[in-house]
A and B are shown apart, each in its own frame.
Chain A
Amino acid sequence: MNTFSFTRWYGIILKEFIQLKRDRLTFGMIIGIPVMQLLLFGFAINADPKNLPAAVLSQDNSPYARSFVRAMENSGYFRVVRQLDNEAQANELLAHGDVQFVATIPADFSRKLARGERPQLLLEADATDPSATNNAIGAMQQLAATALIRDLAGPLADQNPGPPPIDLRVHRRYNPEGITAYNIVPGLLGTILTMTMVLMTGLAMTRERERGTFENLLSTPARPFEVMTGKIVPYILIGLIQVTLIFLAARFVFGVPMKGNLLLLYSVVILFIAANLTLGITFSSVARNQLQAMQMTFFFFLPSILLSGFMFPFRGMPEWAQWLSNLLPLTHFLLLVRGIMLKGNELHELWPQIWPIVAFMLAVILIGLRFYKRTLD
């Protein structure tokens, strides 16, 4: 009898749009928050992460090579997690973000070293977040000059002083110039969506409750599902507008490249928007008034920006913080957007970041349904 009614649903959407149009403050926030964050976070915040995961592709099983790898680890910046056999493996690990660096030691490393011919050593870095890699690269340059000095003492001592015994080549992958905007833009996208989507929907229901209009809405035949989704739709559209604005700014102001599929990017964005909206609706079911909804939003928003890897490099954080940040959708969304925009990742490479967002959303919906009130009790 009382099934989904398109008329009612459309009525709710229409009402929400009209109210939004009249609510100058909210409208200001939708524009103001991106501008404010652009200003605040446009300045790169640098940190000094250590213990970054690295892989070594060593084609030269010599004491020199082993000694150099040991020196890398001793520097504190690198944690060698894998020994690789070929170039393809290296590319895969970097694309997935499993390691931050791959060091390739060529087959003629020790022979050339012994002859004083300055062998090349290739360091490939995942530079999507330059603040995470810059210091490590600096340390590596230092190592190239000094690491093998003691090994080379004796017969090869005449190499010293002079140019460094190793010719270090650094490839900053995905972001060759180490431009921080490449990281800022996806981060901004994620934080703005988190902020506005959670807050707007969080307020949407509590506002009705606070003004007493919820009682009127409840006394009409409108169904909870129609009310909830009817209230969400306008914000999905707003979210997509914000995203498009940021993408345009990324492309034409910051010159961030777009390597991947735009459709895939928008799909990921919609997933992320949906996750945040369900959280917002759940907050507004739990909160008693607008102030509480606001407080809950900030309680969620702060760890999201601090821990997601947007403000501080993910790998620079202690383990418990990394574990916590893996629960947050923003953490995964950042990796997804960087992956698509900068690395050109395909869908099959993105699953490890997609399922945590879906899981988050499901958990939140369950909580929301548990708390949604059909009556005024």
Chain B
Amino acid sequence: MTAVVAAPPDTNPDGTGGSAGQPPLVIDVHGLNKHFGDKHVVRDFSLQVRRGEIYGFLGPNGSGKTTSIRMLCGLLTPDSGSGTCLGHDVIRDTAAIKREIGYMTQRFSLWEDLTIRENLDFVARMYSMPERAATVQSALTELGLDSRQNQLAGSLSGGWKQRLALAACMLHKPKLLLLDEPTAGVDPKARREFWEELHGLAESGLSVLVSTHYMDEAERCHRLAYLAYGRLMATGTVDEVIHGQQLITYAVTGPDLSALSQRLRTTPGVGQITPFGNTIHVTGRNDAALVAALAVLGGDSRYQIERIDATLEDVFISLMNDATDNFQ
């Protein structure tokens, strides 16, 4: 594959519709729908991911993230919609997609009754890798599991299982990684290392779609998509997502905040209230209404009120509330 920087702006090495100056699209799907029984789990899902991008995939539990990822890698057939993944049709060419992507499932899905080494060895065989023994050995060394390679995978701790699964899905040097909550239960140091590695890989041209519930991870992504009740609510960079919602947030610091929260919650113009220790964030869309609502404190000197930038979390919670109002 041609390196992105070396390619002239108007060439398109993958033939996947890269426009001038931008890397080509590795994921380009439109209008995907999925039902389970009469439950409409994913609605009109469209997503464009460019090469070298780390794309964050967020949304509350049950919003359809896993289902969408499964449709992208051919594990579920969409009821309608179309698109490509690495230039292959997501409905017809699933075999070709499977060879070039690395998919890490949300639930640990390696074989618990095989040892660490046997698991990696099996995965390497499934991708018919030419230098299997050497690849497995270097993966073990990189993971730091060399000395435990003959331990059963089932006896690893939760975090180590995640790290093993991640190593397994990167074994065959895929062009696109689909990671479903890869860092759930992983300690902060390992998470940081993982994200550093991910950025390193992205710079060398690997693309990543990663679902997560962690805000700090969301902020580390190049772009984000937020899903609620199967609907894509927002997409873009972190800044675009935050500013796109035009939220106004006031931080209120002072005593007895829970009683205050109770009172404000029923006040018109207040969208949501989020507690942060001895501060609460009061968020809404209409500045005048918010100011009016906060006037109940009426210059009580024990309280400090400060207008701040809405955080990503404020935005997501607001998006989720909007979705609840509209679709439930």
A residues with CB within 8 A of B = 1-2, 5, 7-8, 10-11, 14-15, 18-19, 22-23, 211-223, 375-377
Question: Which residue of the partner chain, among B109, B121, B125, contacts A8 with CB atoms under 8 Å?
Answer: B125
B95 adjacent to A216 (CB under 8 Å): no
Q: Contacting chain A: which of B46-54, B73-81, B284-292?
A: B73-81
Q: Report the bound CA distance from A315 to B121 in whole Å.
A: 55
Q: Is B195 at the interface (CB under 8 A from chain A)?
A: no
| B213 partner residues in chain A, CB cutoff 8 A | none
**A47 to B: closest C-beta gap in Å:** 45
B125 nearest CB neighbor, chain A only: A11
B111 adjacent to A375 (CB under 8 Å): no
**B135 to A: closest C-beta gap in Å:** 13
B103 adjacent to A219 (CB under 8 Å): yes
B127 adjacent to A213 (CB under 8 Å): no
B126 nearest CB neighbor, chain A only: A220
Q: Is B105 at the interface (CB under 8 A from chain A)?
A: yes
B residues with CB within 8 A of A = 70, 73-77, 95-96, 98-99, 101, 103, 105, 107-114, 118, 121-123, 125-128, 152
Q: Report the bound CA distance from A211 to B114 in whole Å.
A: 13
| A15 partner residues in chain B, CB cutoff 8 A | 111, 114, 118, 122
| A223 partner residues in chain B, CB cutoff 8 A | 95
Q: A219 and B128 in contact (CB under 8 A), knowing A213-B109, A376-B70, A377-B77?
A: no
A212 adjacent to B114 (CB under 8 Å): no
Secondary structure dominating the interface of A: helix
A211 adjacent to B112 (CB under 8 Å): yes
B113 adjacent to A219 (CB under 8 Å): no
B118 nearest CB neighbor, chain A only: A18
A218 nearest CB neighbor, chain B only: B75
A2 adjacent to B73 (CB under 8 Å): no
| B70 partner residues in chain A, CB cutoff 8 A | 376
Q: Report the bound CA distance from A7 to B131 in whole Å.
A: 12
| B110 partner residues in chain A, CB cutoff 8 A | 213, 216
Q: Report the bound CA distance from A5 to B101 in whole Å.
A: 19
Q: Report the bound CA distance from A10 to B126 in whole Å.
A: 9
| A18 partner residues in chain B, CB cutoff 8 A | 113-114, 118
B103 adjacent to A1 (CB under 8 Å): no
| A11 partner residues in chain B, CB cutoff 8 A | 121-122, 125-126
B109 adjacent to A375 (CB under 8 Å): no
B113 adjacent to A19 (CB under 8 Å): yes
A375 adjacent to B74 (CB under 8 Å): yes
Q: A213 and B75 in contact (CB under 8 A), knowing A220-B126, A221-B127?
A: no
Q: Report the bound CA distance from A375 to B76 in whole Å.
A: 5
